[in-house]
Amino acid sequence: MVPGSAQATGAGSDGAPDPVPSPKIVGGEKAQQGEFPWMVRLSMGCGGALYKQDVVLTAAHCVEGSGENTEIEAVGGVTDLSSPDAVKVNSTKVLQAPGYDGKGKDWALIKLEKPIDQPTLPLATSADLNEGDFTVAGWGADKEGGEQQQNLLKVDVPFVDDATCGSAYGSELTPEEELCAGDLENGGIDSCQGDSGGPLFRKDEAGEFVQVGIVSWGDGCARPGKPGVYTEVSTFAADIEKAAGELGA
């Protein structure tokens, strides 16, 4: 899977190591209305999550640099993008991760012109939740090379340790900044084109959802031996909080 704009839990499509949008959810099922109320669809073909009601956390490869930007439309509040209840808000500013060069540091914030009145998704602030089973959701393709989806899809994906993931991707992986998830042996479950920038999440000890990853890249979608690669949120939680402050959040 390649970093891109439409992954969900896997990532790109052709294994290219550069930041290019790529995924949708593969092997998943439709999410229920209100199940993941912080999910946002972005007009460039990426996903995201409400970090604040007026700030979306997405992938760096989904945006072009930092600065004023009024051209991105965020759609929230619904699982069906065609629903008349969809809330549509334009961006005002974008802040791409400082130092992002296409490898690692794949996060960005989008400031919205007004809040989307939905719950937000807290970030994991330590590595304690970076193992186990995760959920990834998005409106990306449901198969490699497939079409973007109208309805939000979700799929559960198990953690893949750094050593195993490193064997699959070699030097393309940045283990101190990324984590991997997927069915390594069988494939079949993953994020895909159009899921990029969306959240990888799980419940904490209190039973509340927290974001542990951001859909970043991968080799194709749901291929055996090629797990999805996600930005490790806990590594950047403090940087994201600081950046949100700079945006006035």
* Tens-digit pLDDT profile for residues 55-64: 999 999 999 9
Mapped onto helix, strand or coil, the DSSP state of residue 242 is: helix
In a domain, 85, yes or no: yes
Q: Which two tokens stand for residue 164?
A: 């195993």
178 and 102 fall within a common domain: no
217 and 206 fall within a common domain: yes
In a domain, 105, yes or no: yes
pLDDT in tens, 159-184: 999 999 999 999 999 999 999 999 88
160 and 92 fall within a common domain: no
Contact assessment for residue 177 and residue 104, using Cβ atoms and an 8 Å cutoff: yes
> What is the domain extent for residue 54?
39-119+236-246
114 and 203 fall within a common domain: no
Catalytically annotated residue among 5, 13, 54, 61: 61
Catalytically annotated residue among 54, 106, 195, 219: 106
115 and 145 fall within a common domain: no
pTM above 0.75, yes or no: yes
CA distance 243 to 85: 30
From the centroid of its chain, how far is CA 15? 18
CA distance 220 to 54: 32
Active site residue 85: no
In a domain, 83, yes or no: yes
Contact assessment for residue 192 and residue 1, using Cβ atoms and an 8 Å cutoff: yes
Contact assessment for residue 202 and residue 212, using Cβ atoms and an 8 Å cutoff: yes
Active site residue 66: no
127 and 230 fall within a common domain: yes
Active site residue 196: yes
Number of domain units in the chain? 2
In a domain, 1, yes or no: no
Contact assessment for residue 194 and residue 221, using Cβ atoms and an 8 Å cutoff: no
CA distance 78 to 229: 26
Residue 17 confidence (pLDDT) above 50: no
138 and 219 fall within a common domain: yes
CA distance 154 to 45: 17
